[in-house]
């Protein structure tokens, strides 16, 4: 017996995240460390619990080990529940055969039986690669108020960026009458945030129809939303005006981290009424040494800092030795930066070791040809030997 739930959230966390290169070689994108003590998936999971949604299915497929372990029984997000809670949903073998998730819509289709157990009125579709704080309860009331089949959260983006998104065309009352995926010449600036609420009966109907269509790519953006619009279903845009960032690329991941220490960016992690939860490491407080200088940065538990840290995000258990310089960089959990090493405009993966006097990345002002400049990336669990140089924009997959 399962208690009925008004709304069940399904979180798409199976994508490979190939544009994060070395950072997603062994880790699914939603499990990539973010903001010193979080992983990307903490944001949608915390939004769920803060919005009163206590039943969440997490659809995993690519490199699920770290992600599964991280989610565990859901306790850090208060999602270990007698009824509902968080459930990891990998593809599985059925009597009729076994299939990988072949698209976002197919992933939900394969888990209709999971949703059915809670007999929900509404289903929320979320992605595991966005950083934002949003009250889904307000979006759900909007969906009900509009008596919609589907509500899509949208963000007004600058015209010059609009071609990177799925762009919605909406009437003044919010009803969507068309959309274009990544248009070359955008005719609107309402970008889809990849957050949908469906009336479950409609969702189920369209998923089944889509599954029976052999031509379909089994994707929400390509198939389900166009089908709803073609059939004149009520599809509404829910305008969101807070901070939201897709962290699907190295540059956007780096920028979103830096946004957390930018006083002009409206994302507040210190609001007790809307905490972002994460699985806490069991580590002592950060120790800032006699030779340290830390400014404009975020640092978390278990760090031992004796070097200079500026404009950086330092995750749990990181060591920065005396004389090392960390500037405009992201150090993921367990990194060790040895004496005299310089890490500048770089992302260093989990448990990697940067040898003495090594140089990782460079400040843009030191580079003449700006086209060759970019954020340098060192993958997870790598050793960079003493004195080694990693050029800006380089992506390191192996020890050097």
Partner 1 sequence: MGVNMGNVLGLVFANMHDMTVGDLTKNRTMGSLLFGGRYRLIDFPLSNMVNSGINAVGVITKDNYQSLLDHLGSAREWDLARKNGGLYILPPFGNANASLYAGRIEALNGAMSFIRNSMCEYVIMSDCDVVGNIEYKPIVEKHVESGADITVVAHTGQYTADEMKMSTVLNTEADGRVNSVLIRPELSGTCTASMNIFVMKKDLLIEIVSDLIARGMVSFESDVLQAKCGELKIMAYEYTGYFSKITSVNSYFKANMDLLDPENAAQVYLPKRSIYTKVSDNAPAKYDLNCSVKNSLIADGCIIEGEVENSVIFRGVKVGKGAKVRNCILMQGTVVEDNAECNYLITDKNVTIGEGHTLTSAPSYPMYVAKGASV
Residues that bind partner 1 (CB under 8 A): 35-37, 75-76, 261, 269-270, 275-278, 280, 282-290, 292-301, 304, 309, 313-314
The nearer residue to partner 1, 90 or 289, going by C-beta atoms, is 289
Q: What is the closest distance, in whole angstroms, from the C-beta atom of residue 297 to partner 1 in the complex?
A: 5
From the CB of residue 236, how many other CB atoms can be counted at a distance below 10 Å?
24
Q: What tokens does 158 get? A: 């600058």
The nearer residue to partner 1, 44 or 392, going by C-beta atoms, is 44
Q: What is the closest distance, in whole angstroms, from the C-beta atom of residue 296 to partner 1 in the complex?
A: 5
How many residues are recorded in the chain? 400
The nearer residue to partner 1, 188 or 278, going by C-beta atoms, is 278
Centroid of chain to Cα 218: 22
The nearer residue to partner 1, 222 or 286, going by C-beta atoms, is 286
Q: What is the closest distance, in whole angstroms, from the C-beta atom of residue 202 to partner 1 in the complex?
A: 36
Q: What is the closest distance, in whole angstroms, from the C-beta atom of residue 279 to partner 1 in the complex?
A: 9
The nearer residue to partner 1, 176 or 309, going by C-beta atoms, is 309
Q: What is the closest distance, in whole angstroms, from the C-beta atom of residue 9 to partner 1 in the complex?
A: 20
Residues 27, 20 contacting (CB under 8 angstroms): no
From the CB of residue 2, how many other CB atoms can be counted at a distance below 10 Å?
11
CA 85 to CA 87: how far, in whole Å?
A: 7
Q: Would you give the end-to-end CA distance of the chain in angstroms?
A: 56
Contacts of 110 (CB under 8 A, 6+ apart): 91, 99, 101
Q: How far from 164 is each of 94, 181, 189, 192, 255, CA to CA, in Å?
A: 38, 8, 11, 10, 16
φ, ψ dihedrals at 95, nearest 5°: -55, -35
Q: What is the closest distance, in whole angstroms, from the C-beta atom of residue 253 to partner 1 in the complex?
A: 17
The nearer residue to partner 1, 61 or 352, going by C-beta atoms, is 352
φ, ψ dihedrals at 130, nearest 5°: -125, 145
């Amino acid at each position: 017996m399962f208690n009925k739930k008004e709304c069940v959230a399904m979180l798409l966390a199976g994508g490979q995240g190939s544009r994060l290169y070395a950072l997603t070689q062994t880790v699914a994108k939603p499990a990539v460390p973010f903001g010193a003590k979080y992983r990307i998936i903490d944001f949608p999971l915390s939004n769920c619990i803060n919005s009163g949604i206590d039943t969440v299915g997490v659809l995993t497929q690519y490199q699920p080990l770290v992600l599964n372990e991280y989610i565990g029984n859901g306790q850090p997000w208060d999602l270990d529940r007698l009824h509902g809670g968080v459930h990891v949903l990998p593809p599985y073998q059925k009597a009729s055969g076994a299939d990988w998730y072949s698209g976002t819509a197919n992933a939900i289709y394969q888990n209709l039986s999971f949703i059915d157990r809670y007999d929900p009125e509404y289903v929320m579709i979320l992605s595991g690669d966005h950083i934002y704080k949003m009250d889904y309860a307000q979006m759900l009331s909007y969906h009900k108020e509009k008596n919609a089949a589907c509500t899509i959260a949208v963000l007004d983006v600058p015209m010059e960026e609009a071609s990177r998104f799925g762009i919605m065309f909406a009437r003044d009352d919010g009803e969507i009458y068309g959309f274009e995926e990544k248009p070359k010449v955008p005719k609107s600036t309402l970008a889809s945030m990849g957050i949908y609420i469906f009336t479950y009966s409609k969702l189920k109907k369209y998923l089944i129809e889509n599954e029976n269509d052999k031509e379909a790519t089994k994707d929400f953006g390509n198939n389900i939303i166009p089908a709803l619009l073609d059939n004149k279903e009520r599809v509404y845009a829910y305008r969101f005006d807070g901070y939201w960032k897709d962290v699907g690329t190295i540059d956007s991941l780096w920028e979103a981290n830096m946004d957390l220490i930018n006083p002009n960016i409206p994302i507040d992690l210190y609001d007790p009424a809307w905490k972002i939860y994460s699985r806490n490491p069991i580590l002592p407080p950060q120790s800032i040494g006699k030779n340290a200088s830390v400014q404009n940065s975020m640092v978390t538990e278990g760090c031992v800092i004796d070097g200079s840290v500026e404009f950086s995000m330092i995750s749990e258990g990181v060591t920065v030795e005396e004389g090392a310089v960390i500037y405009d960089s992201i150090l993921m959990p367990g990194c060790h930066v040895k004496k005299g090493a310089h890490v500048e405009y770089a992302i260093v993966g989990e448990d990697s070791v940067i040898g003495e006097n090594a140089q990782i990345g460079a400040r843009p002002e030191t580079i003449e040809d700006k086209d060759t400049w970019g954020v340098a990336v060192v993958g997870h669990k790598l050793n960079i030997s003493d004195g080694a140089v990693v050029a800006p924009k380089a992506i390191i997959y192996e020890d050097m």
